[in-house]
Amino acid sequence: MKISQNIAISENGFLFNPSTGDSFSTNNTGKVLIRLLQEGKSQDEILGYMEANFDTDRASIEKDLTDFMYMLGNYRILLADT
């Protein structure tokens, strides 16, 4: 999966999707996840990064990442690989 290329994200975590006109805000963790997705990181790479840089267990990271990616897909920010 990858982030739609036209998604803009500010340093404050404000996202804008010009395709739909929708805007969203996210916390610092969400901002980090979106940046990693924009860099083309795989889900395993993101899990490893989050586990190394955030003080939580892998099971929680996996659940939260799955939930976050599902939400991004619903808002047409995250696109399925074609």
Return mean pLDDT, the chain: 88
- Are the CB atoms for 43 and 65 separated by under 8 Å? yes
pTM: 0.83
pLDDT tier for residue 44 given thresholds of 50, 70 and 90: very high
47 has pLDDT over 90: yes
pLDDT attached to residue 19: 84
